[in-house]
Amino acid sequence: MPVDQCTALAGQRLALRDAATRIDAAAVAPGGDGVPSFCEVTATIAPGIGIVLRLPATDWNGKFVEVGRGGYCRPVVMTECDNPLRKGFACIISDQGHKTAGSDDVWAADNLQAKVDCGFRGNHVAAVAGKAITQAYYRRALRHAYFIGCSTGGRMAMVEAQRFPHDFDGIVAGAPPVAKFYNGIALSWNALAALDPAGRPLLTADDLRLVHAAVLAKCDALDGLKDGIVGAALACRFDPAVVQCAPRQASASGGAVGACLTPAKVAAVRRIYAGPHDSAGRQLYDGAPLPGSELNWIGAYLPAGDQPSIILASMTEMFRYLQQPARGPDWSLSRLDWDSVSADVDLAEAYNGASNPDLSRFKAAGGRLILYHGLADQLIMPNSTIDYYRAVTRTMGGAAQTRDFARLFLVPGLGHCSGGDGATVIDPLAALDDWVEHRRAPDKLVGAHLRQPPANPYALVRLPLDPGDVAFTRPAYAYPATTRYAGHGDPAVATSFVAAN
């Protein structure tokens, strides 16, 4: 497209329903590393939602994709559009209505408009504005519009399917916290369980390595292959008592690998596996990390030196500022009352929740939904997504009626959205596009494990992969099927695995 066709967009005002938009800037960028040159449009949707839209200058495929970011309404990071741009998609990301350079949640304190925009409005109006700008730029209608996101982006995806079923033809929701604040209750429980009653660190990284080794010894081969991956995590019945020190055994080692855990440490691990309960023993949220995820707890639940754990810090922020009303900067997570915490979060859940199982309007609009979740996820509890999909199945009239438009894939060894010991690099957007465009419903997602995984598990992996970079591939079958080694063939090749029920 000519440069002047891009720059001419700057300064325009679009009187869109519920999404009055001012285009602040538009300029052509050169691209690179397989990303084509593009027209980048920066705009503001009233009252203060920022969007950045990248429009391929050549070889547009006629399709539009919105990317929902992880975290909680974090700043726009446009590298997350690189893979869609390589495939010819127009791609947009929204800041959800507030500007921040960090990971704090102070922006939400007593700011109902920001909470509403971040909770459910922001992605909808970004879709309205983004599609209008895309069609104006190319001067033709869109063929299809998609949404893809993981973690909070997955929650945003489910908000779209439930509240705005006509925005997108297809949606990918990865590891969605469908009940964000209830998942926050579970994370708070886990972070506090890693501390002793005085608030000092109780569990160590070596403790969790010891527990993980014991989990592998018991459950690694349940999927027919002993390979260092807990493929059948849902079938794993593990009691950390197997690594508890005998009564006369010295426990001064602190739980080093090859040693044992004190009864207090075993009890802490059990609390994490069990999930949050009130004082009467009633479960507050049906979700806890699964066996096989223990190594991922190290970077999440455990304190880092003299600093609180990432989860302890982020959950403190959540309860201080994202609740309605906010608790304020002096409140501490240790003050949570497990007998009242569920009621405390209900109002905030009302505008953040994405747990409505009635997707009949989305299905009637012709929408297609791919849900996926890593079985080694430590931040969003896998069982919560399974429970949600089961509720959808009941509500939509059964398994066959649900599989017509919505499928869930559980990925062994995948941590939170990316990283882990399994075949964790997947391309659900490609599967969604094939389903929408060619009506080929995916029975499996084939993932890959890299020979040299990024040091940062959340680093963007360029797609498509170079086959020389792949250590092994493996399928994740549509739920309720699970993945099992066929008993013959190269275990590094996905075709050596079959679906099991």
Has 449 been annotated as catalytic?
Answer: no
Which residue reads 């939602």 in tokens?
A: 49
Question: Which is it for strands 444-450 and 470-477: parallel, antiparallel or unpaired?
Answer: antiparallel
Beta strands in 292-379 (DSSP E): 368-374
Residues 6+ apart with CB under 8 A from 488: 496
What whole-number distance in Å separates Cα of residue 205 and Cα of residue 426?
Answer: 28
What whole-number distance in Å separates Cα of residue 381 and Cα of residue 185?
Answer: 11
Which residue reads 């997947």 in tokens?
A: 426
Give the active site residue among 151, 188, 293, 496: 151
Do the beta carbons of residue 178 and residue 353 sit within 8 Å? Answer: yes
What whole-number distance in Å separates Cα of residue 383 and Cα of residue 287?
Answer: 5
First to last CA, the chain: 51
Give the active site residue among 95, 169, 207, 377: 377
pLDDT in 10s for each residue of the chain, 501 residues: 567 899 999 999 999 999 999 999 999 999 999 999 999 999 999 999 999 999 999 999 999 999 998 877 667 889 999 999 999 999 999 998 877 665 667 777 778 888 899 899 999 999 999 999 999 999 999 999 999 999 999 999 999 999 999 999 999 999 999 999 999 999 999 999 999 999 999 999 999 999 999 999 999 999 999 999 999 999 999 999 999 999 866 445 444 445 899 999 999 999 999 999 999 999 988 779 999 999 999 989 998 888 889 999 999 988 888 876 778 888 999 899 999 998 888 888 888 899 999 999 999 999 999 999 999 999 999 999 999 999 999 999 999 999 999 999 999 999 999 999 999 999 999 999 999 999 999 999 999 999 999 988 888 999 999 999 999 999 999 999 999 999 999 999 999 999 998
What whole-number distance in Å separates Cα of residue 162 and Cα of residue 305?
Answer: 42
Has 151 been annotated as catalytic?
Answer: yes
Give the active site residue among 98, 124, 373, 416: 416
Closest C-alpha among 472, 461, 465 to residue 419: 461
What is the model's pTM?
0.95
Has 82 been annotated as catalytic?
Answer: no
Is residue 371 classed exposed, middle or buried when 0-12, 13-18 and 19+ CB atoms within 10 A define those classes?
buried
| Cβ neighbours around 124 below 10 Å, total | 20
What whole-number distance in Å separates Cα of residue 406 and Cα of residue 428?
Answer: 13
